[in-house]
Chains A and B, each alone.
Chain A
Amino acid sequence: MAKNMDPKKCPMPVQEPEIRKNNFDEVALGYTYEMALKEAQRCLNCKNKPCRSACPVSIDIPSFIERIVNEDMEGAYEIISQSSSLPAVCGRVCPQERQCESRCVRGIKGESVGIGRLERFVADYHREHSKNAPKKPESNGHKVAIIGSGPSGLTAAGDLAKMGYKVTVYEALHLAGGVLVYGIPEFRLPKIIVQKEIDNLKNIGVDIETNMVIGKVLTVDELFDMGNEAIYIGTGAGLPRFMNIPGESLKGVYSANEYLTRINLMKAYKDGAKTPISHGKNVAVVGGGNVAMDAARCAKRMGAENVYIVYRRGMNELPARKEEVEHAQEEDIIFRTLTNPVEILGDESGMVNGIRCIEMELGEPDASGRRSPVEKPGSEFSIEVDTVIMAIGTSPNPLIRSTTPGLDTNKKGCIVTDGENGLTSREGVYAGGDAVTGAATVILAMGAGKAAAKAIDEYIKNKG
């Protein structure tokens, strides 16, 4: 079939910014069948498959794209499924421009193939058209417990269940999905898609127990006593960080975790929701990652007139996914980069009424290789805001490490693992995702879950 030599990606239809900033419906609408075919034809199916080596879960990208070209959508889905348990999620939230698409040969003289968009198309097409109920694998008689039902835990659960393990996933909240349900907003990842992925796992025999805070109601050692032969800890990011500047306890200051949880998990964006939230008119979001973009775009949809991203480095240094930054800009989010808060200001009733900031400039590169921001003396100024959302990262949750003797953590509190298979200092206990790395991405957490599932399988088999 003829290749499509268009240097540009086939654009993905989106809701118009003026409309979408007033609703929580999904922003990106996905390729049509014809668009997917046309975009798939841009792939040169090159021998080295550089894209594949840049995928944290090593999806055989050129092969699934070739199936799309041949209009074998189920075949494409099967290829992705061999490597990824959550394709509909990854197609939407992976930072493709830094992974697979960054190595695409087509990217040298134009735009890379829209791999993420094609992955999403295949997963959505499968969800809408496939009638094959997933088969429950034959049991191998071994039990494994997974702590946390976020992307990492779900991936490990899926892989182990497919190998025949009896898997129980313990979730602290009332709903499974972890950051996919409490963190990432509906307009970026519709919850019905997450639910469908979870239902798929249940259909292959995975048990999900909600309302179970491991470390409190049961300990890791008790999970072993219950007959589990290995345990995977995928408990995620943990406690929100604050800046330790004056005013952070004023009313109207949120952590991004709290703000997003109220909106996403507790549905505070819906009329009649029982969980309250501030409907700020002027909102400052501190931070430049995906979580900051999510919070800013939620604030806009909650009716804010002005939403500022306050970030201490420059536009080029924003850690957020490129598409999120572009979408935020289209939705009139105001980027105050090279700006750092020094104080949150409040009125006599303890409500936020402003944020005092200082201008920054980029100095010498720091340990991370990024140029470190330095304050410009005397450049302080204030922005009038009534809500401040801190999206500057998290520190690991203490509940498991404080109740699991012999589980080593580093000085930040992250669980220490041995190499890539996720083995901790305790025999039979594996860990991965943000609980190990600190706040990172969905796909890296999935990659860790996948590697640990393989290691757990080997461990149990060798144990005899």
Chain B
Amino acid sequence: MYRIVKKKSLNPTVSLMEIEAPLIAKKAEPGQFIIFRAKEDSERIPLTIADYDREKGTVTIIYQIVGGSTMELDTLNEGESLQDFVGPLGKPSETEGLKKVAVIGGGVGCAIAYPIAKKLHNMGCEVHSVAGFRNKDLVILEDEFKKVSDELHIMTDDGSYGKKGLVTNALEELIRNGNQYDEVIAIGPLVMMKFVCLLTKKYDIKTIVSMNPIMIDGTGMCGGCRLTVGGKTRFACVDGPDFDGHQVDFDEAMHRGTMYRDFESHARESACNLMKQGEDKNG
């Protein structure tokens, strides 16, 4: 079983869990993901690896409560165990030879951007990080990013923290100020990655994005995670999750991402209602 050795809330809807999974911890690299099932009858959900400790044998995941399954995960506490935890899946992010990189994280996507920034930093690469959030309350991993970035720019939609604006505003300013990046790595909501790619295309800077489509097995069997990259069907689980952002069909990916929106919001509602009932009974 996969024991939760640490659980910490990062903001009202985002939490961190450190899970005991020695074999995965031994092999995990930034950019890879795991699939978990919280309980016996739970759905299989992919989550990108936020950190790992090879010596302690733990893998860290950071999740946002968006539907029934993440809500179910969140009911588990330190000392309890996840039913299933499998990985490391997907290909690691390619970092070889990079000297100067802009790492862009949006919202909970920062959890995935952080280990890449850390790896780049540790190999001596100059890292400029841009982290975007809706508002001050949702800011996560600020200290962690600071430690591994030569420059850190925090952006909020409403200006309640850092600078007001979008990550693309900050990135464009950095580029205009004469920064020459070998690569931009952007991880966040699809719409954010799409606009980062439109911007970097204009400046002709190679851009890598991390895709997180709907997935079941995560090992190259179901084909649910397919997306169109450079006009070809690719599978995020075995060909990705990192892809050349200038080749990804984001509009199609956004459409496909909404396939089960009704089901998910229904699942979230019924999970909420169950919890409410529980609270009522307990209270």
State the A residues within 8 Å of B (CB).
Answer: 172-174, 182, 210-213, 216-218, 236-240, 242, 244, 248-252, 254-255, 257-258, 261-262, 265-267, 273-276, 278, 349-350, 397-399
Is the pair A242, B220 in contact by a Cβ cutoff of 8 Å? no
Is the pair B216, A399 in contact by a Cβ cutoff of 8 Å? no
User: Is B96 at the interface (CB under 8 A from chain A)?
Assistant: no
Asked if A213 meets B233 with Cβ closer than 8 Å, knowing A174-B83, A276-B264, the reply is no
Residues of chain A lying within 8 A (CB to CB) of residue B258: 251, 350
Asked if A399 meets B220 with Cβ closer than 8 Å, knowing A217-B27, A251-B256, the reply is yes
Is the pair B238, A399 in contact by a Cβ cutoff of 8 Å? yes
Of A212, A244, A261, A399, the residue contacting B233 (CB under 8 A) is A244
A-B contact pairs, 21 of them (CB 8 A): A174-B83, A182-B221, A213-B87, A216-B88, A217-B87, A239-B223, A240-B221, A242-B223, A242-B226, A248-B233, A249-B249, A249-B256, A258-B223, A258-B224, A274-B42, A274-B68, A274-B72, A275-B44, A278-B259, A397-B238, A399-B220
CB of A386 to closest CB in B, whole Å: 12
Is the pair A255, B44 in contact by a Cβ cutoff of 8 Å? no
User: Is B123 at the interface (CB under 8 A from chain A)?
Assistant: no
User: Is B95 at the interface (CB under 8 A from chain A)?
Assistant: no
Residue-by-residue, is B19-34 near A (CB-CB < 8 Å gives 1, otherwise 0)? 0000110010000000
CB of A270 to closest CB in B, whole Å: 9
Of A172, A244, A248, the residue contacting B217 (CB under 8 A) is A172
The count of A-to-B residue pairs whose CB atoms sit within 8 angstroms is 113
CB of A341 to closest CB in B, whole Å: 16
CB of B240 to closest CB in A, whole Å: 12
User: Is B219 at the interface (CB under 8 A from chain A)?
Assistant: yes
User: Is B279 at the interface (CB under 8 A from chain A)?
Assistant: no
* Contacts beyond the supplied A217-B24, A239-B221: 5 A-B pairs with Cβ under 8 Å: A254-B224, A266-B43, A266-B44, A274-B69, A276-B264
A266 CA / B42 CA spacing, docked (Å) = 8
Residues of chain A lying within 8 A (CB to CB) of residue B41: 267, 273-274
A388 CA / B256 CA spacing, docked (Å) = 14
Is the pair B233, A398 in contact by a Cβ cutoff of 8 Å? no
Asked if A397 meets B88 with Cβ closer than 8 Å, knowing A239-B235, A276-B264, the reply is no
A238 CA / B43 CA spacing, docked (Å) = 21
Chain B interface category by residue count: 35 or more
A251 CA / B222 CA spacing, docked (Å) = 15
- A256 nearest CB neighbor, chain B only: B223
State the B residues within 8 Å of A (CB).
Answer: 23-24, 27, 37, 41-44, 68-69, 72, 83-89, 216-217, 219-224, 226-228, 233, 235, 238, 249, 252, 255-256, 258-260, 263-264, 267
Residues of chain B lying within 8 A (CB to CB) of residue A350: 255-256, 258
Interface of A (DSSP majority class) = loop
A364 CA / B85 CA spacing, docked (Å) = 52
Interface of B (DSSP majority class) = mixed
Is the pair B219, A399 in contact by a Cβ cutoff of 8 Å? yes
Is the pair A216, B217 in contact by a Cβ cutoff of 8 Å? no
- A237 nearest CB neighbor, chain B only: B221
Of B84, B222, B255, the residue contacting A211 (CB under 8 A) is B84
Kindly name the residue among B43, B86, B222, B258 whose own CB sees the greatest number of chain A CB atoms within 10 A.
B222
Residues of chain A lying within 8 A (CB to CB) of residue B69: 274
Is the pair B216, A261 in contact by a Cβ cutoff of 8 Å? yes
Of A217, A248, A257, A278, the residue contacting B221 (CB under 8 A) is A257
CB of A148 to closest CB in B, whole Å: 11
Of A236, A249, A252, the residue contacting B228 (CB under 8 A) is A249
CB of B59 to closest CB in A, whole Å: 11
- B90 nearest CB neighbor, chain A only: A216
Of A211, A213, A249, A274, the residue contacting B252 (CB under 8 A) is A249
Is the pair B221, A397 in contact by a Cβ cutoff of 8 Å? yes
Is the pair A242, B233 in contact by a Cβ cutoff of 8 Å? yes
- A175 nearest CB neighbor, chain B only: B84
Is the pair A255, B216 in contact by a Cβ cutoff of 8 Å? no
Asked if A211 meets B86 with Cβ closer than 8 Å, knowing A239-B235, A276-B260, the reply is yes
A431 CA / B228 CA spacing, docked (Å) = 32
A172 CA / B84 CA spacing, docked (Å) = 11
- A250 nearest CB neighbor, chain B only: B255
Residues of chain A lying within 8 A (CB to CB) of residue B260: 276
Residues of chain B lying within 8 A (CB to CB) of residue A174: 37, 44, 83-84, 86
Residues of chain A lying within 8 A (CB to CB) of residue B264: 276
CB of A244 to closest CB in B, whole Å: 7
Of A237, A251, A275, the residue contacting B43 (CB under 8 A) is A275
A95 CA / B167 CA spacing, docked (Å) = 59
A255 CA / B264 CA spacing, docked (Å) = 21
A78 CA / B259 CA spacing, docked (Å) = 50
Is the pair B221, A261 in contact by a Cβ cutoff of 8 Å? yes
Asked if A216 meets B216 with Cβ closer than 8 Å, knowing A249-B252, A397-B221, the reply is no
A266 CA / B224 CA spacing, docked (Å) = 14
